[in-house]
Amino acid sequence: MDLKNLLQQKRPRIVKKWCDVILSTYPEQSQKFLRKQKDTIANPVGCTISQGIESIYDELLNESESDKISLFLDNIVRVRAVQDFSPSQAVSFIFGLKDVIREVLEDEVRQGEISEELVAFESKIDGLALRCFDIYNQCRQKIFEIRVNEVRNESSRLLKMAGLVYEIPETGSDLEDEKVNNG
């Protein structure tokens, strides 16, 4: 049997174990809630992870190069980017899939029946990890921009309330123009 058929045959077990690996990165109390609560409204994080990994797995098996897989990755990484995870922790969930597949297909791997196919499949997973890191970086950059804008808006509001309004130019071009004209 080839790797793709094995992965399709063992899909429920692999997806469940992968979900368990991801949820194990959360504190114990959170894990219990994320595992038990199935309502999308009451548990958006758990549902996003569960639905996302199923979709990612299916897209990997379909060998799809569409943007759909990036959307599924984005949904999970976006959640992890705003939580208290380091960059490596936030994207490590994708590598968990490799470990789960090797565990579930242990006998087949040991017999060497699927070695070449598995290496190629794991390379695809590594590529997804790189996409995850890019997505994480974009999310963190957006969070930084939002925080800067909040500070800027709050400072402006306080200055207006105090009657000490001073407009700060958005770019340094005004200062550069002044140096050129005076210099």
The answer to whether the beta carbons of residues 4 and 61 sit under 8 Å apart is yes
Q: Kindly give, in sequence order, each residue whose CB lies less than 8 Å from that of residue 183, ignoring residues fewer than 6 positions away.
A: none
Q: Residue for token digits 């997505």? A: 135
- pLDDT value at residue 163: 76
- pLDDT value at residue 181: 61
Residue closest to 25 by CA, chosen among 83, 101, 100, 99: 83
Q: How confident is the model at residue 111 (pLDDT cuts 50, 70, 90)?
A: confident
- pLDDT value at residue 66: 67
Predicted model pTM: 0.75
Q: What is the pLDDT of residues 134-181, one digit of tens each?
A: 999 999 899 889 989 899 888 878 878 887 775 666 775 555 565 556
d(CA 46, CA 48): 5
pLDDT over 80 at 33, yes or no:
yes
Full set of structural domains in the chain with CATH: 3-159 (1.10.490)
- pLDDT value at residue 108: 86
Mind giving me the DSSP string for 15-40? HHHHHHHHHTTS-HHHHHHHHH---T
- pLDDT value at residue 22: 94
Mean pLDDT of 23-52: 86
CB atoms within 10 A of CB 16: 14
Mean pLDDT of 79-87: 89
Q: What is the pLDDT of residues 2-19, one digit of tens each?
A: 899 999 999 999 999 999
